[in-house]
Amino acid sequence: MIAPDATDRDVLLEVTDLSVGFKSRGKPLAEAVRSMSYSVRRGETLAIVGESGSGKSVGAMAMLGLLPGSAVVTGSAVFEGADLLAMPQKQLRTYRGRRIAMIFQDPMTAFHPAFTIGNQIAETMTVHGLAGKKESMSRAAELLELVGVPEPGVRVNQYPHEYSGGMRQRAMVAMAIANKPDLLIADEPTTALDVTIQAQVMEVLAEVQTEVDAALILITHDLGVVANVAERVQVMYGGRIVERGPVDKIFKQPRNPYTRGLLSSLPRVDGVRGDRLIPIGGTPPSILNMPPGCAFEPRCPHRTAICGQEPAKLESDGFDHESRCHNTYVLPAWEDINAARTTPS
């Protein structure tokens, strides 16, 4: 969904220096997210891209207070004027499911197996005092219809195990929008689904987002899904944002070596005959064993001495495209790298 010029909409969420570490006895703090700052405007779609260990999910869960007790969270996440990280649990609960809603990856475990889907959707509404019992049940059926669940009147009284994976995911979307939230956070919403079902769910998500006029933070590792849905993209690696910008620029003119590495290593369904994959060597770092300087340094083909010593700062190109790299201005041109992919060797 492409929105009109983003800059004149209000800022809905402002995250500043968010850091998340996990305590572990006898070991130093394992940093999963390191000083992440970003903002989301009303109605926009931001994709946060990363692989496992990048910290992409942890950051979002931290905002909603969904991390285990061993997590140490610092920084601020100001949502419509109030800092989510500084407020007491009781107050945070009035935001969760009402102003900010989350859609999880595994629809099977996101629903309670012993209650009907309708019951659970209705509960979201009654718990926030937005509807009475009867009204919330009928609204639940309406929501199921909105997300395309067939026979909503019947399905609303069924249990999660009676739904297929795709339907459960849609039901989760229905539950998320029940209270017309201002912000939706979807954490790998389609990773567990077949590709034709994924297409259905992404379509539904786009529809409801427009209907409710909510902002969407889409967390995923699938660059195809990002290209489909996002307006702005934020790439994460080793707990830090390494690149950020409008979706077209990120895909057509990536500035960061990691982003470039990812794009070069993707096989394409619209692939050119004989194109080669250029993988990124090595393995992603574990949060227990982060390199001292730039997290990507051990795998970066463009690394220099300083990269191993200190991490770079996130620098803008003067407009809306930022990258975190010491060597931003001495990297070869992206067109040349891309060309190497199709050059017969």
The DSSP-derived string for 32-79 is EEEEEEEEEETT-EEEEE--TTSSHHHHHHHHTT-S-TTEEEEEEEEE
Span near another protein by CB under 8 A; candidates 33-41, 79-87, 101-109, 193-201: 193-201
DSSP state for residue 285 in the 8-state scheme: P
- Name residues contacting another protein, limited to 282-301 (CB under 8 A): 282-284, 289, 297-299, 301
> Whole-number minimum distance, CB 5 to another protein, in Å?
16
SS3 293: coil
In contact, 107 and 192? CB cutoff 8 Å: yes
DSSP state for residue 188 in the 8-state scheme: S
Span near another protein by CB under 8 A; candidates 84-92, 94-102, 108-116, 198-206: 198-206
DSSP state for residue 160 in the 8-state scheme: G
> Whole-number minimum distance, CB 123 to another protein, in Å?
25
E strand intervals along the chain: 11-24, 27-41, 45-49, 71-79, 82-83, 100-103, 183-187, 215-220, 232-237, 240-246, 314-316, 322-324
Q: Which of 279, 292, 310, 320 touches another protein (CB under 8 A)?
A: 279
Binding of another protein by 168 (CB under 8 A): no
Tokens of residue 107, six digits? 């629809």
Binding of another protein by 140 (CB under 8 A): no
Binding mask 207-246 for another protein (x = CB under 8 A): --------------xxxxxxxx-x----------------
Q: Which of 194, 211, 213, 317 touches another protein (CB under 8 A)?
A: 194
- Name residues contacting another protein, limited to 11-50 (CB under 8 A): 24-27
> Whole-number minimum distance, CB 246 to another protein, in Å?
9
> Whole-number minimum distance, CB 91 to another protein, in Å?
32
Binding mask 66-105 for another protein (x = CB under 8 A): ----------------------------------------
Compute how many residues bind another protein; rule: CB under 8 A.
77
Q: Which of 196, 313, 318, 344 touches another protein (CB under 8 A)?
A: 196
> Whole-number minimum distance, CB 61 to another protein, in Å?
20
Cα distances (angstroms) measured from residue 205 to each of 200, 250, 254: 9, 23, 27
SS3 115: coil
> What is the rounded distance in angstroms from the CA atom of residue 3 to the CA atom of residue 111?
32
